[in-house]
């Protein structure tokens, strides 16, 4: 099934402040996950296999690289045998890049917040306002939710990241 996110990624220089806001505003902490995202070669969009302790999904998405809130259209499929799926996709498509991170996952209603640590890159916050469990939300509603959390987390414009971790690792 196809879904829509309005999302941002930003460098996070005040992780404790963001965590305090989430706790004080009743965010649901899902847990800390170690994730390995294997990106595969595809002609358009991004196609990755996410393997973790909490989240395991095959994800295809398209998104423009731009600063600030941006729309991401995605398909997400859960799976059970990650090793076999990774081997199959590697043989069929070839690996583009692998991203490994430690991620703390929170939810505020339909908004998913990630606090990510990537070795050599630093600490980041991601905000994903999604229509997955909020079909009544318009893209404008999702954008407003994202913008409200940007302000609440005191994210500065210069801290916004316009591309994905995979792009950063590839030097794009």
26 CB-near residues (< 8 Å, 6+ apart) = 108
Give the pLDDT band (50/70/90) at residue 67. confident
Interatomic CA distance for residues 104 and 130, integer angstroms: 18
In this prediction the pTM is 0.89
Residue 62, both tokens: 């398209």
If DSSP codes are grouped into helix, strand and coil, which group holds residue 158?
helix
For residues 51 and 144, the answer to whether their CB atoms sit within 8 Å is: no
pLDDT tens digits, 107-137: 999 999 999 999 989 999 999 998 776 667 8
Domains located in the chain, CATH noted: 2-169 (2.40.320.10)
Mean pLDDT computed over 56-78: 90
Task: State CA 73 to chain mean position distance.
Answer: 12
């Amino acid at each position: 099934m196809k879904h829509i996110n309005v999302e941002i990624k930003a460098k996070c220089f005040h992780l404790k402040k963001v965590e305090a806001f989430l706790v004080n505003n009743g965010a649901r902490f899902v847990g800390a996950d170690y994730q390995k995202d294997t990106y595969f070669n595809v002609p358009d969009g991004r196609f990755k296999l996410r393997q973790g302790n909490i989240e395991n999904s095959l994800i295809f998405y398209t998104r423009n690289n731009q600063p600030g809130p941006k729309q991401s259209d995605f398909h997400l499929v859960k799976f059970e045998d990650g090793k076999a799926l990774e081997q199959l996709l590697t043989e069929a498509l070839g690996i583009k890049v692998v991203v490994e991170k430690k991620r703390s996952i929170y939810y505020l209603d339909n908004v998913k917040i990630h606090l990510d640590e990537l070795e050599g890159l630093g600490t980041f916050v991601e905000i994903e306002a999604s229509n997955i469990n909020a079909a009544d939300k318009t893209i404008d509603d999702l954008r407003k939710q994202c913008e409200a959390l940007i302000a609440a987390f005191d994210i500065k414009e210069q801290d916004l990241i316009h591309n994905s971790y995979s792009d950063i690792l590839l030097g794009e």
